[in-house]
Amino acid sequence: MRQRVVRVALTAALVALVLLAVPLALAIRSSLYAGQRDALERAALAGAVRVNPDYTRGDPAELPAAAPHQLLGLYDPQPGLRAGTGPRGGDDAVRRALAGKVARSSSGGELVAAVPVSHAEQVIGVVRASSPVADVRGRVLVGWGALGGVCGVALTVAVLVARRQARALAAPLEDLSRHCRAVAEGDLTARAAPSTVAEIDQVARTHNDMLHSLSELLRHERDFSANASHQLRTPLTGLQLTLEAGLAQDDARSALQEALAATRRLHETVEEVLRLSHTAGLPRPGAPVRPVGQLLAQAEERWHGLFARDGRRLEFAAADVPKDARVPGGPVAEILGVLLDNARIHGRGTVRVTVRDLDDALAFDIADEGTVTGDGVRLFERGHSVGEAGAGIGLALARDLAVSLGGRLTLAHGAPTTTFTLLLPVSRERTGVQGDAGQSGA
């Protein structure tokens, strides 16, 4: 591209110089020749003024001194040279001047100007001035040489400017090409830098936006895979244990009922993870709602046995929550599941789930007797786990689910006990917003 820009600029400069230089060169030549003829005519006229008319009766004729490289002579009507220098016989210019008009000609390698000398309305002689054509040609060549030098300087400047402009145009495109090559090799963090060319900047911004969208899409795909793997691991293990226990019993009806309930929970988990991947963590009003009491009862039924097998207590307290308070059932159940599983694996002692009424919102406090050290904000970053055995996925997933509901999940305090607080906007039956139609989303 750089060579192409230089070639285009050089071609344009050459065309412009030819269009300007050729007429200018012709003008220089014409001007120098015309100037020399004018100078000869002035010299001849000055000589004609000084000629004494009595020269025709034998008096000496006086002519002014000729300029360097000029010949100045007086010719009588015959015509013959009477004074000064020049050809002995008059040439065509002298014969035409004898007719009473100023004559100019170019012959024999000379420029000639002849002026008639008049007396009593008669032409009594002619003053002829001449100079070699080579003198004028030399000055013309000098002028053309100066013009050529100016053209050479102009071409040099044009090439330098073209090369600089080519670098300015090609460098951003080469940088963009390198970034595209890096992306093709798998580096999705490569970003094109801004340049001084608006059009190239627009392409770079479009490239960066496209790459950002692609990175976000891939991140959502990875997050979905990690979230699904993390959230399905525990239910699948429970389902496997239930089915194995049912095989060991004569009456497998209860085991099948438990397995069916676990399958429904698996379905809800998959639906929530898919919904979260589609909404990309953005608020999503209108999710199916259910009463808070029903939600807590289902959570207690699901998690009480797991904590009991570990010799730990699980307590729920929601005495001050109005009966008409409703929250999105599936997402909140997943968030509570993540927090309870986190408390079971990484926490200690009794786990308490407390629900507080804040008028237009509900606060879910999940507390255990363990401690958490470190930055409470970084705790929710994907890949950062509370304990060494964690994958760093659960809390990040719970935070994204809370944000998708228009709420917020925070670490209220990490010592001497650990408490996570989930704040959620609440709908109530008496307001007419999202009524009993959401109860079917169990």
* 343-358 pLDDT, tens digit each: 888 888 999 999 988 8
From CA 229, how far away is CA 237, in angstroms rounded? 12
Question: Residue 152: what pLDDT?
Answer: 92
**Residue 317: beta bridge partners?**
354
Report if residue 192 sits inside a domain.
no
**CATH code for the domain of 252:** 1.10.287
* Helix intervals (H) in 248-375: 253-279, 292-309, 329-346
Cβ–Cβ under 8 Å, residues 228 and 208: no
Question: Residue 73: what pLDDT?
Answer: 92
Same domain, yes or no: 387 and 286: yes
**Residue 119: beta bridge partners?**
122
Distance of CA 218 to the CA centre of its chain: 23
Cβ–Cβ under 8 Å, residues 107 and 23: no
Report if residue 45 sits inside a domain.
yes
Total-model pTM: 0.47
What confidence category does residue 433 fall into, taking pLDDT thresholds of 50, 70 and 90? very low
Same domain, yes or no: 266 and 285: no
Same domain, yes or no: 224 and 307: no
From CA 440, how far away is CA 294, in angstroms rounded? 12
From CA 278, how far away is CA 265, in angstroms rounded? 20
**pLDDT of residue 95 exceeding 60:** yes
Mean pLDDT of the region 123-135: 92
Residue with tokens 């007719």: 99
Total domains, the chain: 3
Same domain, yes or no: 208 and 309: no
**CATH code for the domain of 41:** 3.30.450.20
Report if residue 342 sits inside a domain.
yes
Same domain, yes or no: 144 and 9: yes
Question: Residue 435: what pLDDT?
Answer: 37
Same domain, yes or no: 254 and 380: no
- Order of strands across the sheet that contains 81-84: 81-84, 71-75, 122-132, 110-119, 103-107
Give the range with max mean pLDDT: 12-26, 154-168, 226-240, 334-348: 12-26
Question: Residue 442: what pLDDT?
Answer: 24
What confidence category does residue 201 fall into, taking pLDDT thresholds of 50, 70 and 90? confident
Helix axes 198-247, 133-184, angle to 10 degrees: 10
Q: Which two tokens stand for residue 394?
A: 């659960």
What does the CA dihedral 411, 413, 414, 416 come to, rounded to 10 degrees? -160
From CA 95, how far away is CA 103, in angstroms rounded? 9
Give the range with max mean pLDDT: 39-43, 50-54, 257-261, 381-385: 39-43
- 4 or 16: which carries more pLDDT confidence? 16
Cβ–Cβ under 8 Å, residues 171 and 164: no
From CA 438, how far away is CA 442, in angstroms rounded? 9
Q: What percent of the chain has pLDDT over 70?
A: 77
Q: How many CA atoms lie within 13 A of 360 on its CB side?
A: 2
Question: Residue 148: what pLDDT?
Answer: 92
Same domain, yes or no: 269 and 219: yes
Domain range for 23 = 2-150
**Residue 424: beta bridge partners?**
362
Mean residue pLDDT of the chain comes to: 80
Out of 247, 275, 303, a domain closes at: 275
**pLDDT of residue 157 exceeding 50:** yes
Mean pLDDT of the region 128-148: 93
Question: Residue 208: what pLDDT?
Answer: 82
What does the CA dihedral 214, 220, 225, 231 come to, rounded to 10 degrees? 180
